[in-house]
Amino acid sequence: MTRSKACGSQNVYHTKRVSLQEKKTQDLSSPLRKDGDYTIAGLFRIHRITFEMKSRPEVDICASMGNRSSHGYYLAQAMRVSIAEINNSRCLLPNVTLGYEIYDICSQLTNLYATLGLLSQGAEGCHSHQHIPVADNYTGYLPKAVAVIGPDSSENALITASLLGIFLMPEISYEASSPILSRKRAHPSFLRTIPSDRLQAEALVRLLKDFQWTWVAAVGSDNTYGRQGLHTLHEVAIKEGICFAYQGIIFMETSSQELVENVHAVLASKTEVVILFANKRGATMFFQEVVRQNVTGKVWLGTEDWSLSREIWDIHGIRSIGTVIGVTIMQAPLPEMWDFEAASRHSESHRPQASCFQGCNKTCSQLCSQLYVPALQPLLEPSPYDTQAAFNVYSAIYAVAHSLHRLLGCRTGVCRKNTVYPWQLLKEIKEVNFSVKGRQIYFDSNGDPLTGYDIVQWKWADQIWSFDVIAIFSSNPVNLTIHWEKLQWHTRDNQVPVSVCSKDCAVGEQKVLQGIHQCCFHCVTCSPGTFLNKSNPYTCQMCQEDEWAPAGSETCFPRATIFLHWSDRISQALLSAATLLLVLLAGALFVFAQKANTPVVRSAGGWLCFVMLSALAGANASLYCYFGVPSRYTCLLRTSMYTVSFNICLACMAARSFQIILIFKMASKAPGLYEAWKNHHGCGLFIGACTGLQGAIFLIYLCATPPFPHKNYDTSDQVTLLECKERSSVLSLLGFVGNGLLGIFCFVISYMGKDLPNSYNEAKCTTFSLIIYFASLISYSTTFSVYRGKYLPAIHVASLLLPLFGIFGGYFVPKIYPLQI
């Protein structure tokens, strides 16, 4: 291209023809064409050329340098068939004809040349040049065609999409599947009738998940299709927990040693599943090496570019490689085109129309004269791969036609033959939604079709190449439906092959990674109190405070909440016992009150009996605070009220026992002590001092660090104990220690009076009562150290209730009995 001002004042870029032979120039400038009101351009690889290093950039002459391609021929024919159908239709574009220009793009340079040719315009006075004006606004620019169909590969499409996007010229590709082309910021006018490779990657990953294959190898061809496909596949697969033991590239233009190393690496990966994200040429080279190295017994997953390739099927020894499963574009028939092909292939006449009409049906015969081109005769029978690509071309042409139908106002029955600018047509193409051959055609916001794939499996049973559709992948919504009964594996008993790095862990076992791959691990059982969430199999998670879990659990269970329910049977038994004792204490008080002046009551202690019975009643009443859900007030009352009340009772027993010892054993030896005890009311002072000290301790305790309702999760792994929590246990412990020391003192003094007269001998009663107290205290302490179950609160209340019964039964019942005689 050269820049010149010779053809006017406007800056233009000239596309100058290559300086080659006149025959080559004629070949370059004469695409297959048909005139019409609106022209659609087609970019097809009708010839294929091998890679050739050049000393300078020049456009290849496809017809003289390349080999003819049946695939490209069928795609060109699909375009011509669809345009002929539309022109013969009376409803889609009435009174409007479509024309076409078909370009042979056998290389990137011919693709670029064809694209620039479509965009160029003739300059007045410069007949040997064409130009593309340099402007800041191309709204009114009119290229040679209103839309472009093609090209075939992602490499070529990236070139054309970049150029055509500047002019917002609609481009609909039939085979370019790179996800990069979906980026509308870079390629605003690009659309396609083949799904994006991202969708193909999602289909492959969904297939891997359904067959539980997490350890795979992947190989791609050395082009945009293969490299970008591998990248997208890895990106999607890693999110689904699938690992790649090996990823390689097939370098098609280098020595075969790299290909040998690729196959060696696949074998060394120890995987049973290999994904081949490659074009047909790369896949053919790879499988030839696979067969040469005698690789057998694997599952090969193919992409749409080669999964319906007869060339690979025809490789000698290919049947031994294992199971071949491939992703393919959903099939759609084109009977009109194949009828024409059958007629043209079997014709013996050299006259175009005669050869057509001999074999065509009615529909075909109407199109025959427009389609027959002797220069483009097919080399091979059309394959399913040709069929699916031909339908992509067919539907792309119809998408343009439906857009023109709306843009030209053809709904009235007559189309307006207005000037159609590319950007206007692009806007309409993005909005199309129609059905053709039973398939719904429309595009998403990225210009991709909302379609799916067929998943096919090669059949080795017959000598003729064949396949079965074993699954269907849909994109809207995303779903994979597998026909399990159609699957035929290479394994014994037709079992699904296993391809994992490590066997899955058992229930409740976390995966501990080994190496860099998340699929390679060893298993460790979750410890008690933790569980394995299925969303994160690599970490055992802690249960909530009010939950528990055994070792190796996948879920947590609610803890049992423990407290003394009023309605529980054991609570009712304890409440009945406490109420009974309260009634007995009240009855004893009533009897002692009636007999207050009798010698029996005076010898039993007189007023001390009333204090002791009242203290026992207070301690017994505090036990009701242990039932039900703990509250602030019950926590304040129950421990302090019981401890102080029981302290009064013990102090009375100790004072009574000391007074008897003082009278009978120490009055003569220490008369001063006796007189002081008697004159200064020693019994009352002792009881007051003990009670005051204990009361002061608990008053400070309740003011400084009052107990509060608390959920104790440390009692047991499976239970939550509702209790009264003490902020500081030192003062509370002093209270219990004080009662214990007072009980020991009382026990010693009582034992010293064991030889006193029977009417004053209370040693047996007192020691018996205190032994029950000490026994209950020791029993509860031992039980608390070894048992933290649901009955712990009940055991605690029972240990508090038992000393009260012991004192009442051991000390007061013997004194009440004589009063009732």
Range of the domain at 131: 2-194+383-434
Residues 586 and 636 in one domain: yes
The arrangement of strands across the sheet holding 453-459 comes to: 243-250, 215-221, 273-277, 298-302, 322-329, 453-459, 466-475, 478-482
Query: Is 504 among the domain residues?
Result: no
Which stretch, 209-213, 312-316, 772-776, has highest mean pLDDT? Answer: 209-213
Average pLDDT estimate for 422-428: 95
Band of residue 133 on the pLDDT scale cut at 50, 70, 90: confident
pLDDT at residue 128, rounded to an integer? 44
Return mean pLDDT, the chain.
82
Say how far apart CA 511 and CA 809 lie, in whole Å. Answer: 64
Residue 458: pLDDT over 50: yes
Mean pLDDT for the stretch of residues 799-820: 83
Beta bridge mates, 667: none
Handedness of CA 229, 230, 231, 233 (dihedral sign): positive
Q: In CATH, what number is assigned to the domain containing residue 159?
A: 3.40.50.2300
* One domain, residues 587 and 721: yes
Using the predicted structure, report yes or no on whether residue 433 has a pLDDT greater than 90. Answer: yes
Between 132-141, 194-203, 590-599, 645-654, the lowest mean confidence (pLDDT) is in 590-599
Instruction: Give the pLDDT score at 341.
Output: 60
Q: Which of 686-700, 733-747, 756-770, 802-816 has the lowest mean pLDDT?
A: 756-770
pLDDT in tens, 27-72: 433 458 899 999 999 999 988 876 555 667 777 788 776 678 888 9
- Is the same domain home to 420 and 513? no
What is the Cα–Cα distance from 197 to 178, expressed in whole angstroms?
Answer: 6
Share of the chain above pLDDT 90, in %: 42
What band does 339 get if pLDDT is binned at 50, 70 and 90?
Answer: low
The pLDDT > 70 percentage for the chain reads 83
**Residue 434 C-beta-side C-alpha neighbours within 13 Å:** 19
Q: Identify whether 339 is part of a domain.
A: no
Structure confidence at residue 701 (pLDDT): 80
User: What pLDDT score does 33 carry?
Assistant: 87
| Within-domain flag for 337 | no
pLDDT given for residue 450 in this prediction: 86
What Å distances lie between residue 381 and 73, 116, 338, CA to CA? 11, 34, 10
| 528 assigned to some structural domain | yes
Identify whether 447 is part of a domain.
no
Same-domain status, 761 and 630: yes
| Band of pLDDT at residue 1, cut at 50, 70 and 90 | very low
Question: What does the pLDDT read at residue 608?
Answer: 82
Q: What are the DSSP calls for 60-73, one per residue?
A: --HHHHSEE-HHHH
Q: What's the CA angle centered on 327, arms 322 and 333, to 5 degrees?
A: 120
Q: Per residue in 343-360, is it b (16+ CB within 10 Å) or e — as a string? A: bbeebeeeebeebbbebb
Average pLDDT over residues 362-369: 39
Task: Please tell me the predicted confidence (pLDDT) of residue 344.
Answer: 52
In a domain, 363, yes or no: no
Q: What angle do CA 704, 710, 715 make, to 5 degrees?
A: 120
Among the ranges given (207-211, 306-310, 355-359, 615-619), the one the predictor scored with the smallest mean pLDDT: 355-359
Same domain, 36 and 76: yes
- Which one, of 746, 744, 762, lies nearest residue 754 by Cα? 762
pLDDT of residue 28: 38
Mean pLDDT calculated for residue range 315-327:
92
Better pLDDT: 601 or 363: 601
In this predicted model, which residue has the larger pLDDT, 16 or 227?
Answer: 227
pLDDT tier, 10 (very low <50, low <70, confident <90, very high otherwise): very low
Cα 201-204-208 angle, rounded to 5 deg:
135
Of residues 633 and 670, the one with the higher pLDDT is: 633
Find the range with the poorest average confidence among 22-31, 88-97, 449-458, 540-549: 22-31
- Residue 104 has φ and ψ, to the nearest 5°, of -90, 110
What is the C-alpha end-to-end distance of the chain, expressed in Å? Answer: 137
Q: Which amino acid is at 208?
A: L
- Give tens-digit pLDDT for 526-575: 999 999 988 888 899 999 988 999 999 999 999 988 888 898 899 999 99
pTM comes to 0.66
Residue 218, pLDDT score: 96
Q: What integer pLDDT is reported at residue 437 of this predicted model? A: 86
Count how many domains the chain has: 4
**Do 115 and 206 belong together in one domain?**
no
Evaluate if residue 365 carries a pLDDT over 70: no
pLDDT of residue 715: 76
272 and 127 in one domain? no
Instruction: Pick the more confident residue, 534 or 296.
Output: 296
Do both 484 and 387 map to the same domain? no
Same domain for 189 and 209? no
CATH number, domain containing residue 755: 1.20.1070.10
Is 351 inside any structural domain?
A: no
What sections of 623-670 are H helices per DSSP? 632-661
Please identify which residue in the block is written with the tokens 């309605």.
567
Contact yes or no for 193/174 (Cβ under 8 A): yes
Q: Would you mind telling me the total number of residues written for the chain in this entry?
A: 821
Decide if pLDDT at 6 tops 50.
Answer: no
Other beta carbons within 10 Å of 755? 9
User: In this predicted structure, what is the pLDDT of residue 374?
Assistant: 46
Q: Is the pLDDT of residue 4 over 60?
A: no
Interval 745-785: pLDDT, tens: 888 877 776 666 555 556 677 888 888 888 998 998 888 88
Q: How confident is the model at residue 277 (pLDDT cuts 50, 70, 90)?
A: very high
pLDDT beyond 90 at 464: no
Each residue of 628-641: pLDDT tens digit? 899 888 888 888 89
CA distance 47 to 375: 12
Report the pLDDT averaged over residues 102-125: 81
Please check whether residues 323 and 458 belong to one and the same domain. Answer: yes
Task: State which amino acid sits at residue 755.
Answer: D
Write the pLDDT tens digit of every residue in 383-412.
788 888 899 999 999 999 999 999 999 988
Residue 758's pLDDT is what? 56
In the predicted structure, residue 578 carries a pLDDT above the cut 90: yes
Q: Average pLDDT of 603-610? A: 76
| Average pLDDT of the segment spanning 498-518 | 89
Could you tell me if residue 638 is inside a domain? yes
Residue 211, Cβ neighbours under 10 Å: how many?
18
Residue 246 is predicted with a pLDDT of 94
Shared domain check, 580 and 464: no
Q: What is the mean pLDDT of residues 204-227?
A: 94
Cα separation, 480 vs 477, whole angstroms: 10
Spatial distance between the Cα atoms of 43 and 571, rounded to a whole number of angstroms: 91
In a shared domain, residues 104 and 185: yes
Both tokens of 286, joined, read 């790879």
Residue 518 CA to residue 238 CA, distance in Å, equals 9
Q: What is the DSSP string of 419-473?
A: ---HHHHHHHHTT-EEEETTEEEEB-TTS-B---EEEEEEE-SSSS-EEEEEEEE
Confidence at 161, pLDDT banded by 50, 70, 90: very high
